[in-house]
Amino acid sequence: MLHRPRALIVDKDSSETKQLESFLTEKGFEVHWAKDGEQAFNLLDRPAPEAAGVVDGAGPELVITELKAHRVEGMRLLEVAKRRNPEVCVILIADAGSLELATEAMRQGAYDFQLRPLNFTRLLAVVERALSHQQLVNRVSDLTDRLDERLKVPTLTGNSRVMQELSEKIVQIAPTKATVLIYGETGTGKELIAQAIHQLSPRRGERFVKLHCAELSANIIESELFGHEKGAFTGADQQRKGRFELAEQGTLFLDEVSEIAPPVQTKLLRVLQDRQFERVGGNETVKVDVRVIAATNRRLDVLAARGEFREDLYHRLRVIQLEVPPLRERKEDIPLMVETFIRELNREHGRKVTGITRGVADRLMQYDWPGNVRELKNTIEEMVVYAQGKRALEVSDLPIQLRVQRAASGEDLNLTVGMSMQEIERRAIEATLRATGHDKQKAAKILGIGLRTLYRKQKEYGL
């Protein structure tokens, strides 16, 4: 829901402040002005009215404050503002002698800082960037609301055109009864997209049942899908309902549907055509009303052409087909996804990570993410868990394979699956030293480790 954003200016009475207030008002902000620390904290603590669209009284979206304002410490104000609303953009005004403190404020989550004497044109440009940042956050929030506020779908976080188009398709197809086939590489979030479709459909109040078909034999998959009667096979000491019956009136998600054996494909085709089946070992026909969403990381059309998958079943499954792009093809979404993950993981693990440094951002953008969103989230979670204190994640926090994916010369490290972390680290150090002409200071900086640590590692690995 659209709302009028709030801005808080913490500064003494001045013509500059009044000019800034007029500018923000023209930009659509509801502007509040605090002349000292007491007023500032009162305004931060005062819940915004619900009509303003601020959840849980989260306070202003934009704060502009002196680093050392009258009767207030800017760092303290930054901390309180961020605690009240992690998305708030805080811009600090500092003196030249406070440059080090202002830089630390950036690490603690400030959006930017400006030095006195103020260049008002530059300050307004920073404010406009902050406005764009806030509008981006609001657009993502609006998209999340459309996809059901109760659902958290990290793969749908992103401002890239391909993800916006995918989100629109989900919204369009969710209310229908059409069978959906989701194609995407491992880790792209196919199951989460299936959950989003279910949550946005009229079936949201019923069960979302899933079955991962990979590595299950034909007999096991048949029993899991359709259930079995007592005595149907050794060990079947009672009747058991299958996933189709459990999902009655709801949604059944079949992951890696390409791995279903041919005999079971025939029975699945019948269910999709006639909405009925018999349990294993039984004669009673069971009728069901279930929406099927299937997912695969293999091209079913190619498998069908080779005779490895029933072509008629393929067409039944792909009434609607969605393709989830790999993360390497939408890297522009990575910064927003990382921001989202950090916020969620801070809550989950009780951490206070404020963001990532430019060096970390560069390496995340350079990496191709073969494991896609799942790998990205696991990487960020590992870094957040090990992070101590309130700070931004640094290059030294990265797993070694991301710290040095390629040496500066472009030399490939030739990493292979199953290689030990010690061997990966040894190769990374060796390649980096070679690329820097054995400039240890430079190599340590690239690796994100201290010089003493580099010497110790060289000795340990005999480099």
* Domains of the chain listed by start with CATH number: 6-144 (3.40.50.2300), 155-323 (3.40.50.300), 328-398 (1.10.8.60), 412-463 (1.10.10.60)
Whole-number percent of the chain with pLDDT over 90: 35
417-439: average pLDDT:
76
205-216: average pLDDT:
90
Let me know the angle formed at the C-alpha of 354 by 348 and 356, rounded to the nearest 5 degrees: 105
DSSP strand pairing (276-278 vs 285-287): antiparallel
Q: Is residue 31 a contact partner of residue 64, using CB atoms and an 8 Å limit?
A: no
Which tens digits make up the pLDDT trace of 384-421?
Answer: 999 988 889 998 888 877 876 544 444 555 556 666 77
d(CA 384, CA 378): 10
Cα 296 to its chain centre, rounded Å, is: 21
Which tens digits make up the pLDDT trace of 35-46?
Answer: 877 788 888 766
Mean residue pLDDT of the chain comes to 81
Query: What pLDDT does 379 receive?
Result: 94
Output the six-digit token pair for 69: 């304002």
Place of tokens 């009864």: 177
What does pTM read for this prediction? 0.58
Query: What pLDDT does 256 receive?
Result: 94
Which tens digits make up the pLDDT trace of 294-319?
Answer: 999 999 999 999 999 999 999 999 98
Query: What pLDDT does 138 receive?
Result: 56
Residues 6+ apart with CB under 8 A from 337: 154, 157, 158, 373, 376, 377
Q: Is residue 244 a contact partner of residue 290, using CB atoms and an 8 Å limit?
A: yes
Which tens digits make up the pLDDT trace of 158-168?
Answer: 778 898 899 88
Q: Is the pLDDT of residue 148 over 60?
A: no
Query: What pLDDT does 142 receive?
Result: 52
Place of tokens 């091209």: 299
Q: Is the pLDDT of residue 381 over 70?
A: yes
d(CA 367, CA 446): 15
The closest of 111, 109, 56 to 82, measured between CA atoms, is 109
Please state which of the ranges 179-183, 315-319, 411-415, 447-451 shows the lowest mean pLDDT.
411-415
Please state which of the ranges 77-81, 84-88, 117-121 shows the lowest mean pLDDT.
117-121
The closest of 428, 362, 360 to 394, measured between CA atoms, is 360
β-pair partners for 280: 228
